Amino acid sequence: MARMLSKDLSDIENILALNPCVRTHATLKSTQTTKKEKKQWKRNTDKNCNSCEKLENNFDDIKHTTLSERGALREAMRCLKCADAPCQKSCPTNLDIKSFITSIANKNYYGAAKTILSDNPLGLSCGMVCPTSDLCVGGCNLYATEEGPINIGGLQQFATEIFKAMNVAQIRNLSLPPVDKMPESYHAKIALIGCGPASISCASFLARLGYTDITIFEKQQYLGGLSASEIPEFRLPYDVVNFETELMKDLGVKVIHGKGLGSNGMTLTTLQHEGYKAVFIGIGLPEPNRDNIFDGLTMDQGFYTSKDFLPLVSKASKPGMCEYQGRLPSIKGTVIVLGAGDTAFDCATSALRCGARRVFVAFRKGFNNIRAVPEEMELAKEEKCEFLPFLSPCKVIMKNGKISAVEFVRTEQDEDGNWIEDEDQVVRLKADTIISAFGSVLSDPEVKEAMKPISFNRWGLPEIDPESMQTSEPWVFAGGDIAGLANTTVESVNDGKQASWYMHKYLQSLHDAWIPSQPKLPCMYTPIDLVDISIEVAGLRFPNPFGLASAPPTTDSAMIRRAFEQGWGFAVTKTFSLDKDIVTNVSPRIVRGITSGPLYGPGQGSFLNIELISEKTAAYWCQSIRELKADFPNEVLIASIMCSYSKNDWTELAHMAESSGADALELNLSCPHGMGERGMGLACGQDPELVRNICRWVRQAVKIPFFAKLTPNVTNIVNIALAAKEGGADGVTATNTVSGLMGLRADGTPWPAVGKAKRTTYGGVSGNAIRPISLRAVSAIACAVPGFPILATGGIDSAETGLQFLQSGASALQVCSAVQNQDFTVIEDYCTGLKALLYLMSIEEFHSWDGQSPPTARHQKGKPVPKIADLFGKQLPSFGPFLEQRKKIIMEYKLKHKNETRATSVPERVIFIPQKAVPTVKDVIGRALQYIGAYGQLDQEHVVALIDEEQCINCGKCYMTCNDSGYQAIKFDPVTHIPTVNDSCTGCTLCLSVCPIIDCIKMVTRTTPYEPKRGLPLAVNPVC
């Protein structure tokens, strides 16, 4: 009996065993069975687990905030980019959070990092360690929604890490004269003492301001201060600190090691005698706040202060911090950490990595009074640290010269809110090690003596003006922990930032130089900012290729003015007509699209509008054009005009627009709704003969360039473009909106629904949804009419997509929907993004990057993962018993290498230099056309899918799409849920298209001949 062709073969049926099916009845399974089965698939920690994961010598990243590119893009798209964003008001360094998240969402990682580092020179460190829940995230408006606030710290870390990988140097402020032509006041000697966050920040801003003789004195042989010595590797690696100090050094800042206040005879007085005109003190609080009950106790007996313990851990675990990586403190048994700040929890989690079996964190107050940020506390909790509130240490018990226990008294809060110790309630806890983390102080008499003659306050710290960071001595400033104001790294950074401006004012006052009352600190600049993105089109020079389309963003001339002030290179006015053709709009008329699914808020993939042309008169627009050109002579202003098919009308309106001073005209021959019914817009633009004649009339009427705006609602847009060229047009705009019906409600009424009758009409669809249509139109015209200028529009929402249009043949880029989704300030992101994309093209080291996206490192949840197959011999998924097995393998590997003492150094920073000229915008126009052609030109070199099992999250999306929409070429293991591709793969790429993890699936060249499965033998031999 012949087999039925419409039934799957047995081997296909085996593949389909786990493929979803419609349920026809309820499923029955006992609770006992489910409890057993869930352990197989569990990814989070089992609450009933009695064994703890050993973390000894494991300093891998543990931050919840760390993001991969996929995670960063999804999170950035979720951000609302709010007006007067509260998150920014909660950031000590006043980061422009809205802008840098916009850049990340647009895959402009350089632009994001530039925004971050311009306000915070330690933006990467702060992205890793900032207590964001208490700062920016605490003000996020999405706290009011079900999905919760944005992971701002993770996004900050992601963007600055990408910039770090770019290996681009920081350069001097672009507006400064050469060093040898700077005024004498900028050559003043400036000293900063201590190379911690406050000093690095202060020195960076002073150097950006133009000061040329800046020296940091650091008593240690490593950089970074507390960031290096007291924040563990799993939260802040040393190479991050080194990267930020290298950026500072790019500006000429010098660092001298082995010198500090009170050592080698250095004092404020000696610095003054050596000619230093201003000094910044950023030495932190170098001594621990040590309770009297610990007097006489040593590390050999099992007692550490945080100032002892954390630097030892850092020196042993941070590659590059010291010339030789030492050994971790040997800690066994039970550890009690005293304190409730961030440092205490860093001590607790570090103790586990030094070998502690159990760690208790004891503190005097309750959980509601813990000073540590929730992120720190949560990490310690996850690692099975135990918390002991309401305990105050009163006695240390010794046995055989070692610590054996600690006695505590119970603390309580009285009715007045005061904390008291109840000596009747005593608790004794066994302990092998005590780590005291009760804060830090300035107590070294030599350091205090070296700081004379400045005044000290009642806490023994320098008397500081909190606004200027100035001490009692006008030439001495201070910031960070020693100023008594900063409690976090980011606050220390801001102290240095604040001090830099007032040091600048002080130094200039010595030379009677005028300084503006409003602080103006320079941004960060790199060679990328020198890239020229201007372009000449039809004899007009555009400062940059990004402009506003004739659309809602140019509804009135005041909006165009604001757009030019923000940096847009050109603008096209809202289309206007003769008074006899004036229009009045209906409402509602501009609605969100449905092409992105149930997405509410910004980031819409499309809009639909039934808005007509401008309701304002031609006289209004002509006067506005005169005003705008008077104030913005370098920006290009294009007047968009529309008439019916009348030579006299087109001649009259074109004359008016030219006389007003417009740089060029855009002939609107494409409005898809409303105007066509009047014999205008689409009614003219769909007929090549009408387009040709209108262009001839306008060419005869004016001398300035003009562009015919084409409609996509035609069979062959190239014919319309050719007609415009034949009529004398200097170029075309491709394209206008696509005619469409956006959606219907459940009762059958449309949206938008106008009036009581709830009627609608076919409107214009815009935004990213029409980008493929627009790219096709632009590339088709560019191929057919080489060198003919094209102003592209339709789905341009970033520098990356703008580059796609340029490479497809566009000369300049018009934007509308992206502004509707946000605001005019996106232009800054577009410009920095395009500059970065062009710059990276000139550097050989970036040939494997996709624009600003580096190759995806193998990761799970954004954190690098070791290739288990190399350690274990086979692949293991990351859930259930397999996850536990993975952890065990990694633990054994870490323990094996624990006691290695080796020479370490931070890899030498290599600045990537362009090996060829940075391409101009003109250089990339049409670059993609060589790859676009007829189907018959495609070759038969086939590819197949390759799945990275280490990155796979075992969702089976590739398996399902291949089964029900493809070729049943993926097997899904019922135990491990690891998908594998078999020989039936045809390289269709559906699996890659639905995979949620970037680069988890790649298409690689097929190594065996491709033989199509015909179903039945061919009746005749194929022609080709």
Task: Output the six-digit token pair for 132.
Answer: 């964001």
Q: 742 vs 43, 713, 761, 762, CA distance in Å?
A: 41, 16, 10, 8
β partners of residue 673: none
The separation between CA 704 and the C-alpha centre of its own chain, rounded to angstroms, equals: 43
Peptide bond into 1017 cis (omega under 30): no
Q: Which amino acid is at 874?
A: K
Q: Which amino acid is at 43?
A: R
CB–CB of 538/666 below 8 Å?
no
Residue 410 — φ and ψ, nearest 5°?
-75, 140
Q: Where are the beta strands (DSSP E) in 902-1022?
A: 902-903, 943-947, 970-972, 979-981, 1001-1005
In 3-state terms, what secondary structure has residue 716? coil
> CB-based burial of residue 646 (10 Å sphere; 0-12 exposed, 13-18 middle, 19+ buried)?
middle
Tokens 């790019």 sit at which residue?
250
State the pairing for strand pair 607-609/763-766. Answer: antiparallel
CB–CB of 393/291 below 8 Å?
yes
Q: Which amino acid is at 96?
A: D
Alpha helix segments (H runs only) across 640-798: 647-659, 682-685, 688-701, 717-726, 771-784
CB–CB of 397/373 below 8 Å?
no
CB–CB of 215/206 below 8 Å?
no
Nearest partner of 574 among 814, 822, 830, 821, judged by Cα:
814
**What is the four-CA torsion angle of 555, 556, 557, 563, rounded to 10 degrees?**
-50
β partners of residue 434: 303, 336
Tokens 């008397």 sit at which residue?
463
Q: What angle do CA 462, 468, 469 make, to 5 degrees?
A: 25
Q: How far apart (Å, rounded) are the C-alpha atoms in residues 207 and 188?
A: 12
State the pairing for strand pair 790-793/731-734. Answer: parallel
CB–CB of 72/798 below 8 Å?
no
Neighbours of 367 (CB within 10 A): 11
CB–CB of 214/253 below 8 Å?
yes
Considering the candidates 322, 347, 385, 671, report the single residue annotated as catalytic.
671
Which secondary-structure segment (H or E) carries 346?
A: helix 342-353
Q: Which amino acid is at 551?
A: A
Q: How far apart (Å, rounded) are the C-alpha atoms in residues 939 and 364?
A: 74
What's the chain's length in residues? 1024
With b for 16 or more beta-carbon neighbours within 10 A and e for fewer, the 519-540 pattern comes to: eebbebbbbbbebebebebbeb
- Identify the DSSP state of 138: G
Q: 183 vs 332, 338, 460, 513, CA distance in Å?
A: 61, 54, 39, 10
Which secondary-structure segment (H or E) carries 2?
A: none
Order of strands across the sheet with 402-413?
A: 391-399, 402-413, 419-430
* Whether residue 671 lies in the annotated active site: yes
What's the per-residue H, E or C state across 61-110?
CCCCCCCCHHHHHHHHHHCCCCCCCHHHHCCCCCCCHHHHHHHHHCCCHH
β partners of residue 764: 609, 739
Q: How far apart (Å, rounded) are the C-alpha atoms in residues 990 and 1011?
A: 19
Residues designated as active site: 671
